[in-house]
Chain A
């Protein structure tokens, strides 16, 4: 059994899937981000002035890129894996000799690929509104890769438990979106009262947005070591959880 071939097959299939339906997968984040830049950056931003010493467009850009990466990595895997359950095409993989970790890795890399592609497109849009300079390239790349992988696995776990298409939209709508908006995309947590500042520190997305902002702008509300450590810890934890669920056959085997 050649696991590398099996992994490549899943990743290629996943990439072709989101490219085939680019109108649903790649275009919407570009449109939405453009609107954010026009409304928050160009119309409201000048009234806000500078944020943490940067123009408002410049300040929100890393957060908007991260928001797109998080949302798209998650939704790519949750919708693809749940569809495979729904169509029962998941059985094509379950009957094959490939190990479960390859299935999980394949979907995760598919989600990372879409997250990265959308992130690059959003960055491309951002260039129309602000300058792009990357202060710490390795931090930028590491944070974006780890975050995309983390939310891909999150989407995978959501899909394992999902029993209807409604179930795959609950977490993005009621958990991911609020946490992202409250994760310092549009503001610095230094602006908040001590209580809300402390509460914000419990939001893991804050560390991802700020970690990425540190990579791009060189400034952040939290320590970069803490951000990378937290993301890696969550990544390992969710990977092991997802693998355990797959081995057990939760949601996929009766």
Chain B
């Protein structure tokens, strides 16, 4: 089956000499839900910009459902939907017009565009606001407007560049449900986000980009399996004055009742508890310092520095 996205040796050097992409290879299967992760300035938005013809590439090849974005630009673009990181609509235009016009740019006749816009706006809870200017919407609503706009031409590959940035938890969760539903209906999704728990809970695959290179990609479960260390936070009952020695584990005393301990995933936790018990340390609670994907992400990003 043709891949939804194939990127080969993609490079981008900006006019000021900054090399944003240093030869990226990426493959996304049809129907997948993939997270593209990376720190600020890693090259995520440049990659997305090139896929969507908003940024000119320096070299390399990009294919969308087997169609080359240089040679079959119009056909490739018809398959793509983009929700960019920053608001990019005319804030003075009515909400409904923004979505209808977007359908028009894809050649969808106005009557059908009006019907599709109605469906998209209702699905995203913007129907009541359709007549007002886009500037009157809240931040979360503006993000949902961009999602409605990106879906109106029914793309096969939807790219969401930090869609939940700056929205409250309730709206974020409803957007997660919405994205999952869109993916289940057959749409391939590429998501960039800084919320790694979002990537871990939504996506089965992940690609991590840093300094213009893909440093890791694969199934989330497999990548997490590669983590050899995990960091736990322990809350203890009695105050401590210094970090206890617990074998060869790295231990830090965060405050008098909080310990941070790095533990190899190969070694059982029982051993650690035995050492704590021997020292008279009573543990009241414990938790992961970060979620596992976050830990892997930090590990990879720090390694490539």
Chain A interface (Cβ < 8 Å from any Cβ of B): 1-3, 5-6, 8-10, 13, 16, 83-84, 87-89, 91-99, 249, 253-254
Which secondary structure dominates where chain A touches chain B? helix
B97 is an interface residue with CB less than 8 A from chain A: yes
Given contact pairs A1-B107, A83-B90, enumerate 10 new A-B contacts (beta carbons under 8 Å). A5-B104, A6-B107, A9-B105, A89-B93, A91-B82, A91-B84, A95-B52, A96-B106, A249-B56, A253-B53
Roughly how many angstroms separate A48 CA and B298 CA in the complex, as a whole number?
A: 82
**B105: shortest Cβ distance to chain A, in Å?**
4
Say which residue of A83, A97, A99 sits within 8 Å of B78 (CB atoms). A97
**B218: shortest Cβ distance to chain A, in Å?**
29
Q: Is the CB of B55 within 8 A of A253?
A: yes
B252 is an interface residue with CB less than 8 A from chain A: no
B54 is an interface residue with CB less than 8 A from chain A: yes
B149 is an interface residue with CB less than 8 A from chain A: yes
Nearest chain A residue, comparing its CB with the CB of B82: A95
Which secondary structure dominates where chain B touches chain A? loop
**A238: shortest Cβ distance to chain B, in Å?**
23
Nearest chain B residue, comparing its CB with the CB of A86: B90
Interface string of B34-74 (1 = CB under 8 A from A): 00000000000000010011111000000000000000011
Residues from chain A with Cβ under 8 Å of B186 in the complex? none
Complex A-B: 23 CB contacts under 8 Å: A1-B106, A1-B107, A2-B107, A5-B108, A8-B110, A9-B110, A84-B90, A88-B87, A91-B54, A91-B84, A91-B88, A92-B89, A92-B98, A92-B101, A92-B149, A93-B105, A94-B53, A95-B52, A97-B73, A97-B75, A97-B78, A97-B107, A253-B55
Roughly how many angstroms separate A99 CA and B105 CA in the complex, as a whole number?
A: 10
B86 is an interface residue with CB less than 8 A from chain A: yes
Chain B interface (Cβ < 8 Å from any Cβ of A): 14-15, 49, 52-56, 73-75, 77-78, 80, 82, 84, 86-91, 93, 97-98, 101-102, 104-110, 149
Roughly how many angstroms separate A6 CA and B87 CA in the complex, as a whole number?
A: 22
Q: Is the CB of B104 within 8 A of A89?
A: no
Nearest chain B residue, comparing its CB with the CB of A9: B104
The 5 closest A-B pairs by CB, nearest first: A9-B104, A2-B107, A96-B105, A88-B88, A97-B74
Roughly how many angstroms separate A58 CA and B102 CA in the complex, as a whole number?
A: 46
Q: Is the CB of A13 within 8 A of B56?
A: no
Q: Is the CB of A87 within 8 A of B91?
A: yes
Residues from chain B with Cβ under 8 Å of A254 in the complex? 14-15, 49, 55-56
How many inter-chain contacts with C-beta < 8 Å in the A-B complex?
Answer: 90
Q: Is the CB of B88 within 8 A of A96?
A: no
**A93: shortest Cβ distance to chain B, in Å?**
6
Most chain A CB inside 10 Å of its own CB: which residue of B55, B84, B91, B101: B101
Q: Is the CB of A94 within 8 A of B107?
A: no
Residues from chain B with Cβ under 8 Å of A88 in the complex? 84, 86-88
Say which residue of A1, A13, A87 sits within 8 Å of B101 (CB atoms). A13
Residues from chain B with Cβ under 8 Å of A94 in the complex? 52-54
**A232: shortest Cβ distance to chain B, in Å?**
30
Nearest chain B residue, comparing its CB with the CB of A87: B90
Residues from chain A with Cβ under 8 Å of B90 in the complex? 83-84, 87, 89
**B104: shortest Cβ distance to chain A, in Å?**
3
Residues from chain B with Cβ under 8 Å of A1 in the complex? 74, 78, 106-107
Roughly how many angstroms separate A118 CA and B102 CA in the complex, as a whole number?
A: 28
Say which residue of B54, B75, B107 sits within 8 Å of A5 (CB atoms). B107
**A226: shortest Cβ distance to chain B, in Å?**
40
